[in-house]
Structure 1
Amino acid sequence: MKKEDLIAMGLSEEHADAVVGKYGTMIPKERFDEVNNAKKTLEDQVENHETQLKDLQDKAKGNEDLQKTITDLQQANETAKTEYEQQLKNERMNAALKLSLHSKVHDVDLVAGLIDKTTIELSKDGKVNKGLDEQLKSLQESKSFLFVPEKQQPTFKGWNPAGATDNGAGASGVGSNFAKMANEKSSSDTNNTPWD
């Protein structure tokens, strides 16, 4: 579920930002179930293959060709297991990076591709532990257009009414200028009305 979905459900933009900031973009349950079932299927297949290899190894004692085939299959299984674990580690790293970068950058995928993932460490709960802040700081200095500007309180400058303070700026208001002109004119004229 994305920020836009939360806004469409009636949440304000601030609340939607808070939800997405705390929990990240949510994965639909169907997609989670699909990935989870695929993972369970693969784990079952690996376990089944290992069981079959052990049975073959016990039955093939004394047969050199079969022993070599079993050894090759065991090595292939180890390679597949290592690749699977690396792929899982990469997926966890990408998910943690995207959650950490969310609402800080305009394009999460682009910035995640610029990050050196070998220097980043994840905590046990799957969040970025260290190594990201330094990289983000250097990226922000060199490519600031990728980052969402921090929200700042707007400052307004303009005319101050007569008698208002201008925080030491020294500028006088229109009313005080009018009064000053009227006083100067009245002191130079014999008529004491400022409207002449």
Structure 2
Amino acid sequence: MNKEALIALGLTPEQADKVIEGYGTTIPKSRFDDVNNAKKQLETDIASRDKQLVELKKVDAAGLQAQIEKLQGENATAKQEYESKLKDTQLSSAIKLALTGKVHDADIAISQIDKKTIELDAEGKVIKGLDEQLKTLQESKPFLFVPEGKQTIKGVIPATPGKEKEVNAEGDYGKQIAEERSKGNEGLVEAQKTYFD
């Protein structure tokens, strides 16, 4: 309150001067509430920060650093293992593709090959190191490899005594049965007797 407000309340000018002299000018309640609320907010913020500082003091910085370094090491190891497995898979696939039609069992042949000496190109094809190993392997273990050239099995078609019709050795048995069937059931029975006697 100021002097004019005190006079408006009914005090004399001398009395108003004495009140102001004793108490000074008053602050409006809204301003007081604003300052008081700001003070309370600051006290709450300081308490919250003090609590955060206490929690941070509990944290073991050296332990966290060690854990971070451990995780970085594990990640680096996992990455190396992944890249190694990926390279091995690509190498095995390229060797299998190169061995297709040359060996009986590609997995057994691959187990006999030193993959470290084999090089692949950008497209994943074998460019170096396989041919030399295959020559050595073919000399030491020829049973792994498919023989080159056309293989024919020689033999004789066994005689079929008592048959009235000649059986076609080329496998036209089904065709002959179909022709007999077109003649009717009697022809089918006749054909079956002929071939199965």
| Shorter-chain TM-score tier | 0.3 to 0.5
Q: TM-score if structure 1 supplies the norm length?
A: 0.46
Structure number with bigger Rg: 2
